[in-house]
Structure 1
């Protein structure tokens, strides 16, 4: 019997990834600020360069607002209720904000306005690991990474979170059979580094009772990243280039 072709409904989630290694940023479609903060929940504070959150703290030196670790849940809840364009970066201590020069402050405002940088946006005083930018509908997200390993960890986390959510619907069955969920490791994400530079669509689906697969499809350079998920049917007609088995 011929194997049944998968339909769009057979997939759990899709993630588009396009890495710009020279400028240290990645374009995503299919990722959310909730997933980002859930993975990097150890970040001390977030400087809000573009937002509409009304309960943020205010830094006099920079005239910018920020949220600290204990406010993340409230911040995310507000974003869910009132989606908006976001631009933020992490920092370690408010005292370090007071050390930013006028030039550095101007660069931060430029990032928020243009969604691009004048130079690599990693500041000595802030010790930031990221700059995170997304549009109102989170159709396209641009993240600057200081460390490539954080990119690998984030991609792995996005899929592992989805596998965990999928498994919740069979929680009783899992408990009864003592099933350990499969996991995508950052090392396995890193193994496909060469392909992210051209832009790939990563599509997660359930292969069996306890196994999952991630199909990877290279996409043309002339596509618009914010339209990838809207054109899924077209992209999925192309056979997968690779399959990551979990």
Structure 2
């Protein structure tokens, strides 16, 4: 039985499947995804959703979210939708050119969260296919370019860190501390580990006077996020495989592989 972990935001699991061009993840939500690509996201053709402010496309008989409403969608209780699946598209013209076979492939994607053929369509010019169940708990995202995945990871991790470590000001009001995005080169060098499946644990950050150390464990390939979480609970008592380190003085990130 699936549990919702209340601390979903401070543990990130990512597993990259290079051949099929997708990443399985736990701990990163659509709001963080939308923030990472806020200026560049195309409209979203909604395959599974409960958003009540979409527009209707007559050809596919599906609703879509125009770019100017993506922020509204991101602010919604997407976790509460259950299934949340979409594919982006450049022009509505492209939607109207889809064949019955292609529409069937899209419906299969939304229903089964797996592809019949790699889901990148020239007619749509899509960068992503986003397939989630209990958004943030189980997410499977197809990337036309993995550069986008590393951009998301670098921004989501630094943003989460800022939210977790709220600093008290002189007046006692908690304020968010801002951290620069983690250099993509650092995350790219973790690729061999990410292909195996890693946990990046913000709850286990070691706060030192001059630096922060974020532990990374290689834990393997999981289709069930409950199984992944149990494995994390076992492995988190052991030495980690790498540390992402923030130097408070230079405000720079670096990586140590152990």
The bucket for the TM-score relative to the shorter chain is 0.7 to 0.9
1:211–1:73 Cα change, 3 Å: same
Once residues 226 and 50 of structure 2 are traced to their aligned partners in structure 1, the CA distance between those partners, rounded to angstroms, is 22
Aligned to 1:109, the other structure's residue is in SS state helix
1:166–1:172 Cα change, 3 Å: farther
1:164–1:127 Cα change, 3 Å: same
Q: Which residue does the alignment assign to 2:219?
A: 219
Q: Is the 8 A contact 2:219 2:231 kept in 1?
A: no
Aligned to 1:44, the other structure's residue is in SS state coil
1:180–1:61 Cα change, 3 Å: closer
Q: Is the 8 A contact 1:181 1:210 kept in 2?
A: no
- Mapping 1:53-68, distance limit 5 Å: 53-68=51-66
Runs of 4+ in 1 over 2 A off after TM superposition: 76-84, 163-173, 179-183, 206-214, 220-233
| Pick aligned residue for 1:89 from 78, 87, 96 | 87
1:142–1:170 Cα change, 3 Å: same
Aligned to 1:78, the other structure's residue is in SS state coil
Report which of the two has the higher share of helix. 1
The size of the alignment, in residue pairs, is: 230
Listed as ranges, the gaps of 5+ residues in structure 2 are: 1-8, 172-176, 247-258
| Pick aligned residue for 1:18 from 15, 27, 31 | 15
Once residues 200 and 81 of structure 1 are traced to their aligned partners in structure 2, the CA distance between those partners, rounded to angstroms, is 23
Q: Which residue does the alignment assign to 1:131?
A: 129
Give the TM-score of the pair, scaled to structure 2: 0.81
Q: Is the 8 A contact 1:30 1:229 kept in 2?
A: no
Q: Which residue does the alignment assign to 2:37?
A: 40
Q: Which residue does the alignment assign to 2:174?
A: none
- Deviations, residues 101-142 of structure 1 (Å, cap 9, x unaligned): 221111101101111001110110111111111112532110
Once residues 38 and 71 of structure 1 are traced to their aligned partners in structure 2, the CA distance between those partners, rounded to angstroms, is 13
1:156–1:102 Cα change, 3 Å: same
Superposition CA RMSD, Å: 2.4
Give the TM-score of the pair, scaled to structure 1: 0.84
